[in-house]
């Protein structure tokens, strides 16, 4: 079984965008983080529905018209690790 990750609905994220950069404020930690466009899309997908890496790659490749390749998988895995470390996402049992 794959790990499913999502944003804790108790702490909805707040967003602001400047070009390709996004600021995301996490009210649970009181911290603001700057993320690139792809990381923002990934995190926003997790706000709507818990997902695993494979599902995120499929959704992102379709919505952003990107190749579904090893580079995208690697990027998403690193992004998920960083989101977990920052407390922006949590494990969801599905």
Per residue in 75-87, pLDDT (tens digit) is: 999 999 999 999 9
Tell me the residue range of the domain where 28 lies.
4-89
> Alpha carbon of 10 to those of 26, 28, 58, 79, 92: distances in Å?
11, 8, 27, 22, 14
28-45 tens-digit pLDDT: 999 999 999 999 999 999
**Closest Cα to residue 59, out of 76, 74, 37, 71?**
76
In a domain, 37, yes or no: yes
Tally of structural domains, the chain: 1
In a domain, 71, yes or no: yes
How confident is the model at residue 94, as a pLDDT?
53
Under 8 Å between Cβ of 6 and 92: yes
How confident is the model at residue 93, as a pLDDT?
62
Query: Which pTM was predicted?
Result: 0.89
In a domain, 73, yes or no: yes
83, containing H or E segment: helix 70-86
How confident is the model at residue 1, as a pLDDT?
45
In a domain, 46, yes or no: yes
4-36 tens-digit pLDDT: 999 988 999 999 999 999 999 999 999 999 999
In a domain, 18, yes or no: yes
Q: Indicate the pLDDT class of residue 91, thresholds 50, 70 and 90.
A: confident
Q: Indicate the pLDDT class of residue 46, thresholds 50, 70 and 90.
A: very high
In a domain, 94, yes or no: no
């Amino acid at each position: 079984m794959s790990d499913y990750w999502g944003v804790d609905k108790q702490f909805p994220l707040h967003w602001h965008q400047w070009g390709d950069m996004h600021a995301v404020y996490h009210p649970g930690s009181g911290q603001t983080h700057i993320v690139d466009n792809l990381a923002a899309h990934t995190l926003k997908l997790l706000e709507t529905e818990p997902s695993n890496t494979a599902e995120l790659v499929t959704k992102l490749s379709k919505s952003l018209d990107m190749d579904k390749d090893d580079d995208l998988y690697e990027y998403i895995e690193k992004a998920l690790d960083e989101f977990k470390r920052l407390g922006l996402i949590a494990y969801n049992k599905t």
